[in-house]
Amino acid sequence: MDTTDEFQIHLQRLPFKKATAIETVYALGNGHFGVRASNPLQGDNPDYPGQPGLFINGFYDLTALHYGEDYPGYPQNSQTMCQLPDPRFIVLEIDGLRSDDETFSVKQVDKNLNLKTGLLSEIYEITSPTDKTVRLTMQTFASQDDARIYGVAYSLSALNFSGNVKVIKQHRYTQQQIPQHDIDVRNVQRQSQLTCTYQEADHPTMQMITRKSQLAITLQVQPLKNDDQPVPKLTTQDQLPTYVTDFDLVPGIAQEVDFVYSIGFPHPVVIANADPDTVDQTLANETFSTLLNKSAHQWAIFWDNSDVELKGDAKLAKSIRFNLFHLNQAAGRDGMTSIPAKGLTGSGYEGHYFWNAEMFMLPFFIFTQPETAKQVLSYRYSKLLQAQQRAREMTVKKGVLFPWRTINGTEASAYYPTGTAQVHINADIAYAVDLYVRVTDDQDFLATQGLPLIIETARFWLSYGHYATDDAHHGRFVINDVTGPDEYTAMVNNNYYTNRMAQHNLYLAAHYARRLGQTDNNVIGKLGLTTTEIDAFQHAADQMYLPFDPNRQIKKQDDTSTEKPVWPIAETPRTQFPLLLHYHPMTIYHYQVNKQADTVMSDFLFPEDQDQAQLKRDYDYYEAITVHDSSLSRAIFGILAHRLDEADKSYQYFMDTALTDLTDAQGNVGDGIHAANMGGSWLSLIYGFAGLEIKDTTLHLHPKLPTEWLEMRFKLWFQHRHIGITINHQAVILENLKGKPITIQIGDKQVTLGSERVTVPFPI
């Protein structure tokens, strides 16, 4: 296997060997589906320590939630992304013994993921109970060209015998049980009972229907043309359609059989029969390599737009690429799905979408894959009705309340103090819409989807918050009983981040309503906006209460945050972290201890709000009480450390962020990637070291590379221009690769970029 290149993730170089972790790291996906890279023979063996499976974005089932005390408005169902059995799975038959009945030894010899092409290559040595050993080489890809396609090629050679080996591929999904090993509260797993039916078609086609959500998907497998190689025969085994391929093996000569899976999109069951959504007719002339090439071509386009080239630290450069690769694999692109917290690589967090998508991952897509960003935002637009119903359920008279965690647009959090109470999700969505619009100048999206999202979320704040009448708040607009991003503090009044983001949301509503109202009365009319309401947005934003501690001169996380005792972090044994797995939530809430960036997240997003001295005070205070039990934390602290010129600290935070999953630093990559943290590594590079800021509609860069690196190169889309940026220790080099001239700001210098490359030497 060629493993020399900087785009290769090679098994021998991974610092861990846990089966579940390996399955996640090598998972393949394309935003529609994801397949964990499990051992292909042991997929249905209850003793196999892995968690094999196929996930389809938006394909979930409902399970009733049971509460001892079931209060009004509690979600009645959880939503769980279905862990479907593994399309990589095969059975080998040697000397009449089958690998699914007998114990075959399976040794994983090698595994390599080519990030450039998306091709996963693996080698296994498999020994039958009769001591015959075959070498199985497997190649797989999840197509970036046609979201339904998953290709798998099996090549076999005999190592110590000559004779017959059968490769059996059966749609035996009902039998394959996914083993459940986990007790981590973050990974509640609910086994879905799927109904499977097999259709008589040219190729084995199976329809799976979820029990309660009544969604259906269709899966079809067919062999691909492969000259001179054994041809699979379609037969029936155990009453199931089955492909059997006979190999007459001799040592030294490999033989191959290739399959393609066509994985349909989830449908409501009523229309599933009408549209099996498979691609069988179009595949007759394809081979594994033609399909792979089409997919690899799309990966090439992805890298051309999205790569961040780092010179000076090869391991780090690879890790960044690994993160970007997984981000791209995770993002739904059909306008009906978003980006799950664990991508499509694992069952952690039940496949739910959180604020992670908008605040940690979307910036990467907005600047490098704007079409994908738009689809992810469209998902939120498609769920406006559910968000409106939720607001009413919460007796909020106007506007919408988006769910804290969800797949289908309704709230799935059974624990409201760190679920529904995180109402900042509304403002996070509005923030992302505005960023998307300013970066892409997509006015059509703004008028049709963006404005409704911004207005409806802003309306929520007007209803949920109020003008205070007590002395402490001096008639300001306050928002009580909420939880901010820090999940170690719950149900507080005036969480700084929430109020600041709500203020932004309200300003956006007033701004865009006025602006669009000037040119298109229709847009405003459709939303029922009046001047009075627009003024009310403006007024509430102007009057928003932002808590401040006058003694410490810091932004206060909430009205009472600094009054609590500080958790003795240094005295707490390492084994007691993450705290949430060891202490009752109330014990944690009792103290000042932060799970993750909260108030400083606002400092990160709104650099114009504070001078360096204020930032330093906020940073020092909150860093001392933050334990980073969430993977969403370190990237933000690292960016702020960089802004404060604390180079060592910022580099350390950055390295921890960048390497989290490739080193399994948190020990739980087996449950799925930490997709927000991966997005955080891009934020660290671009918002941190390159110093990106969008002020109004102008792009600013304040670059400063860590001394450890020689150079960083990347491209950004900005207002229909494609801008190439190279930063080293001598200069910033800019190229306008597409589009009209544009003026951007590099440090204190204004630079107009025409067709010529521009070099701006340091100091800037």
Residue 119's DSSP bridge partners are 114
State the minimum distance, in angstroms, from the CB of residue 341 to ligand BGC. Answer: 4
Closest CA to 433 of 499, 482, 504: 504
Residues noted as catalytic: 487
Residue 553 vs residues 110, 118, 562: alpha-carbon distances, Å: 56, 51, 12
Distance CA 331, CA 349 (A): 16
Using the contact rule CB under 6 A, the part of the chain among 47-55, 263-271, 349-357, 458-466 near ligand BGC is: 349-357
Using the contact rule CB under 6 A, the part of the chain among 241-249, 326-334, 354-362, 709-717 near ligand BGC is: 354-362
Q: By the 8 A CB rule, do 487 and 595 touch? A: yes
Nearer to ligand BGC, 97 or 569 (CB): 569
**Binding map of ligand BGC across residues 148-187, x = CB under 6 A, - = no contact:** ----------------------------------------
Q: By the 8 A CB rule, do 422 and 495 touch? A: no
Please confirm whether the linkage preceding 578 is cis (ω < 30° from 0): yes
698: amino acid identity, one letter: T
Tell me the helix, strand and coil percentages in the chain, rounded to 5. 35, 25, 40
**Chosen residue from 310, 451, 676, 725 binding ligand BGC by CB under 6 A:** 676
H or E segment at 105? strand 105-114
Residue 495, CB-side half-sphere exposure with 13 Å CA sphere: 27
E strands present in 399-515: 466-467, 477-478
Using the contact rule CB under 6 A, the part of the chain among 281-289, 352-360, 741-749, 756-764 near ligand BGC is: 352-360
State the minimum distance, in angstroms, from the CB of residue 356 to ligand BGC. Answer: 5
State the minimum distance, in angstroms, from the CB of residue 487 to ligand BGC. Answer: 4
> Is residue 330 part of the contact set for ligand BGC (CB under 6 A)?
no
- Phi, psi torsion values for 411, nearest 5 degrees: -65, 135
Using the contact rule CB under 6 A, the part of the chain among 9-17, 61-69, 223-231, 350-358 near ligand BGC is: 350-358
State the minimum distance, in angstroms, from the CB of residue 380 to ligand BGC. Answer: 15
State the minimum distance, in angstroms, from the CB of residue 177 to ligand BGC. Answer: 27
State the minimum distance, in angstroms, from the CB of residue 759 to ligand BGC. Answer: 41
Closest CA to 141 of 50, 303, 261: 261
Nearer to ligand BGC, 529 or 593 (CB): 593
Using the contact rule CB under 6 A, the part of the chain among 199-207, 351-359, 376-384, 423-431 near ligand BGC is: 351-359
- Count of residues near ligand BGC by CB under 6 A: 12
**Chosen residue from 355, 464, 496, 622 binding ligand BGC by CB under 6 A:** 355
Nearer to ligand BGC, 452 or 485 (CB): 485
> Is residue 630 part of the contact set for ligand BGC (CB under 6 A)?
yes
> Is residue 380 part of the contact set for ligand BGC (CB under 6 A)?
no
Q: Which residues of 666-690 are buried (b: 16+ CB within 10 A; e: fewer)?
A: bebbbbbbbbbbbbbbbbbbbbbbb
Max distance between CA atoms of the chain, in angstroms, equals: 89
Nearer to ligand BGC, 328 or 677 (CB): 677
Where do we find the tokens 């469209």? Answer: 378
**Chosen residue from 487, 646, 656, 661 binding ligand BGC by CB under 6 A:** 487
State the minimum distance, in angstroms, from the CB of residue 434 to ligand BGC. Answer: 20
> Is residue 354 part of the contact set for ligand BGC (CB under 6 A)?
yes
CA 36, 33, 58, 334 dihedral sign is: positive
Q: By the 8 A CB rule, do 697 and 368 touch? A: no
> Is residue 557 part of the contact set for ligand BGC (CB under 6 A)?
no
Nearer to ligand BGC, 213 or 677 (CB): 677
Nearer to ligand BGC, 137 or 630 (CB): 630
Long-range contacts, stretch 464-469, CB < 8 angstroms, 24+ apart: 464/396, 464/401, 464/423, 465/502, 465/540, 467/543, 468/545
**Binding map of ligand BGC across residues 430-469, x = CB under 6 A, - = no contact:** ----------------------------------------
> Is residue 485 part of the contact set for ligand BGC (CB under 6 A)?
yes
> Is residue 416 part of the contact set for ligand BGC (CB under 6 A)?
no
> Is residue 356 part of the contact set for ligand BGC (CB under 6 A)?
yes
Angle at which helix 288-306 crosses helix 314-330, to 10 degrees, equals 110
> Is residue 632 part of the contact set for ligand BGC (CB under 6 A)?
yes
> Is residue 596 part of the contact set for ligand BGC (CB under 6 A)?
yes
Distance CA 134, CA 160 (A): 8
Nearer to ligand BGC, 422 or 493 (CB): 422
Using the contact rule CB under 6 A, the part of the chain among 148-156, 348-356, 634-642, 744-752 near ligand BGC is: 348-356
Contact residues for 282 (Cβ-Cβ < 8 A; gap 6+): none
Q: By the 8 A CB rule, do 105 and 278 touch? A: no
In sequence order, what DSSP letters do the residues of 599-643 get, joined into one string?
HHHHHHH-GGG--HHHHHHHHHHHHHTB---STTSHHHHHHHHHH
Closest CA to 419 of 411, 427, 408: 411
Distance CA 554, CA 466 (A): 24
Distance CA 585, CA 582 (A): 9
State the minimum distance, in angstroms, from the CB of residue 48 to ligand BGC. Answer: 27
Using the contact rule CB under 6 A, the part of the chain among 62-70, 273-281, 353-361, 392-400 near ligand BGC is: 353-361
State the minimum distance, in angstroms, from the CB of residue 336 to ligand BGC. Answer: 21
Nearer to ligand BGC, 143 or 418 (CB): 418
Residue 690 vs residues 288, 308, 401, 600: alpha-carbon distances, Å: 41, 11, 35, 19
> Is residue 263 part of the contact set for ligand BGC (CB under 6 A)?
no
**Chosen residue from 169, 424, 595, 642 binding ligand BGC by CB under 6 A:** 595
State the minimum distance, in angstroms, from the CB of residue 382 to ligand BGC. Answer: 21
State the minimum distance, in angstroms, from the CB of residue 29 to ligand BGC. Answer: 18
Enumerate binding residues for ligand BGC (CB under 6 A): 341, 349, 354-356, 485, 487, 595-596, 630, 632, 676
